[in-house]
A and B are shown apart, each in its own frame.
Chain A
Amino acid sequence: AQTVTQSQPEMSVQEAETVTLSCTYDTSENNYYLFWYKQPPSRQMILVIRQEAYKQQNATENRFSVNFQKAAKSFSLKISDSQLGDTAMYFCAFADGTGKLIFGQGTTLQVKP
């Protein structure tokens, strides 16, 4: 069975600085997708970024980028120029062959002014 692990329950960063959230996963599949979702205090889940496993190039969306290491089964999220609105819980997720999403435990990020 696939698993997703986020080993950092809580993190904090100063406004305008850079922070990296870690995620590892375990799977025997070769073709899959990885996602980072943001859940702000409103609790609405928002897709931040996605990565296709067969693409070696790391995905980037504005201030958000990933470091995808397929052999190491690692998928970290880097947030540059952190803003107060980035304060949220962040979930790493893996999409298996059925399309189901498997989530990690989440990392609560606090951006401090």
Chain B
Amino acid sequence: DGGITQSPKYLFRKEGQNVTLSCEQNLNHDAMYWYRQDPGQGLRLIYYSQIVNDFQKGDIAEGYSVSREKKESFPLTVTSAQKNPTAFYLCASSIGSGITYSNYGYTFGSGTRLTVV
């Protein structure tokens, strides 16, 4: 079945460490997104990629980095520069970008809960 796989489900990070969250899709979607979810703040966009080897910053990109070397994969690295990384992270994909494809909405992964210990 096609879908988005996020791993791990739970991740613990020590102070000063970088950690990488995995996101893989087999939907043949061009666009992929990373969101951060905090209580009372909804989902905020970290980074997005509309095509392979290209990505753009979202609203809260500071302290995060991404890569898009393959269409199927869009890993998110939470660096030590991110001062408050404890949150729930959601990866999503869509068929394409632009208003033509907006009707389809997103397909979401099941999320990764990151906790700083």
Determine whether A44 belongs to the interface, using a CB cutoff of 8 Å to chain B: yes
A106 in contact with B106 (CB, 8 Å): no
Determine whether B117 belongs to the interface, using a CB cutoff of 8 Å to chain A: no
Name B63-99 residues within 8 Å CB distance of A: 88, 90, 92, 94, 96-99
Interface on chain A toward B: helix, strand, loop, or mixed SS? loop
Give every chain A residue within 8 A of B40 (Cβ-Cβ).
9, 105-106
Determine whether B101 belongs to the interface, using a CB cutoff of 8 Å to chain A: yes
The proximity string for A residues 71-113 relative to B, scoring 1 for CB distances below 8 Å and 0 otherwise, is 0000000000000000000010101111111111110000000
Given A91-B43, A105-B40 in contact, is the A44-B108 Cβ separation under 8 Å? yes
A43 in contact with B103 (CB, 8 Å): no
Determine whether B2 belongs to the interface, using a CB cutoff of 8 Å to chain A: no
B111 in contact with A31 (CB, 8 Å): no
Determine whether A33 belongs to the interface, using a CB cutoff of 8 Å to chain B: yes
Looking at A33, A98, A100, the one whose CB has the most chain B CB atoms below 10 A away is A100
Determine whether A32 belongs to the interface, using a CB cutoff of 8 Å to chain B: yes
Name A30-62 residues within 8 Å CB distance of B: 31-33, 35, 42-45, 47, 50, 52
A99 in contact with B98 (CB, 8 Å): yes
A99 in contact with B101 (CB, 8 Å): yes
Beyond known contacts A50-B105, A100-B97, A106-B40: 11 more, CB 8 A cutoff:
A33-B103, A33-B105, A43-B88, A45-B108, A52-B103, A95-B105, A97-B99, A99-B97, A99-B101, A101-B106, A106-B42
